[in-house]
Amino acid sequence: MAKILVSYHLPEAGLQALHQKHTLITPDGLKFSREEIMTHIADCDGLLAASLKVDREMIDRGSKLRIIANYGAGVDKIDIAYAKEKGLVVTNTPTAVTEATAELAFGLIHSLLRRITECDTRLRNDPDFQWGMMREHIGHSLYGKTLGIIGLGKIGQALARRALAARMKVLYHNRNQIFDKFEQESGATYSTLDQLLQNADIVSLHTPLTASTHHLIGAQQLSIMKNSAFLINTARGAVVDESALISYLQEGKIAGAALDVFEHEPKVPEALLGMENVVLTPHIGTETIESRTEMAYEAAENLLHFFERGKGLNLV
């Protein structure tokens, strides 16, 4: 029987099987503090890491640690290289996050182009808000627009299916063009990054945050986009150079942005807060009851598989 440290209060339903076979150390409140983590981890075989930075110091403190099961798809908070050096298995939950994140990205596209959030705010707060046809709050249809998806993993593909159902044209860019079957079935078209940025009416980001994707979208890339184009980011904040994005929005060099993630979370730049052509959400890509529960199931399954068979599922 393994001893597993769970850093955050997670849906109980997803952890039941893990509870039955192993000893779980869970927080009494919402989450363990870093100090509490550092105390408990020394005696644990596994770590279920949710909203937790796992650095060298923490890994070294976990001298008995054999596996880090990340609660989420993105593992940029975990020092993967050092974990590998120490012989630790690292897993994530790539399937459970897919549909909820794609739903949010598509919802942000709707809200941004049809100015839903902006109109809601103005109706509530502006007594002089004017109704009528062809007013200043007129928006754009999704129908017939070109959506450029950067990163065609599970979430990118789920978004593509939604866009194609809305009769949008889909371009995608990925490190490798390995989606021939998906292209044939869906009609999505592979593009170089520059071609995608030049031709897309909406650009949606779905890449992990790595050294190669840090500031993947900076001033140079923004300059390629149409002045009428919109940027959607539900990936990681630092995939976009936030300062460059703010400048391009302020100067009207792109039409708008919808952001669920930010470069220095939880800080959101004041400049973005004041822009009506920007929709902001507080990193809620997977924040549905269904998705959070399924993530717990998937993380638990990774741990169960490892301790029963000595192999990890969803290896990073």
Residues catalogued as catalytic:
236, 265, 283
29, two tokens = 């409140």
Write the CB contacts of 7 (distance below 8 Å, at least 6 apart in sequence). Answer: 27, 31, 32, 37, 47, 48, 49, 50, 51, 52
- The CA distance from 194 to 192, in Å, is 6
Phi, psi angle pair for 250, to nearest 5°: -65, -35
Contact at 8 Å (CB) between 24 and 87? no
Question: 196: phi > 0 → left, psi -120 to 50 → alpha, else beta; which?
Answer: alpha
Helix residue ranges, H only, the chain? 12-21, 34-40, 56-61, 80-85, 98-114, 116-125, 154-165, 180-186, 193-199, 219-224, 242-250, 270-273, 289-309
- The sheet carrying 23-25 orders its strands as 23-25, 3-6, 46-49, 67-70, 89-91
Q: Using CA atoms, how far apart are residues 41 and 36, in angstroms rounded to an integer?
A: 8
Cα–Cα distances in angstroms (integers) from residue 85 to residues 60, 89, 95, 216, 300, in the given order: 11, 10, 27, 27, 24
Of 217, 156, 232, 221, nearest in space to 195 by CA: 221
**Dist. CA 190–CA 172, nearest whole Å:** 5
Say how far apart CA 224 and CA 112 lie, in whole Å. 20
Measured CA to CA, the distance from residue 258 to residue 202 in angstroms comes to 10
